[in-house]
Amino acid sequence: MQISRKPNKIIISFCGKLIDVLHIAFITDQPLDAPLRGFPPNQPNLLNAIQSWINEIE
pLDDT 10s per residue in the chain (58 long)? 455 567 788 888 888 889 888 898 999 888 888 888 999 999 999 999 999 999 998 7
Cα-Cα-Cα-Cα torsion 24, 25, 28, 32, nearest 10 degrees, comes to 70
pLDDT at 40 (0 to 100): 92
pTM over 0.85: no
Distance of CA 29 to the CA centre of its chain: 10
Residue 25 DSSP symbol? E
pLDDT at 4 (0 to 100): 59
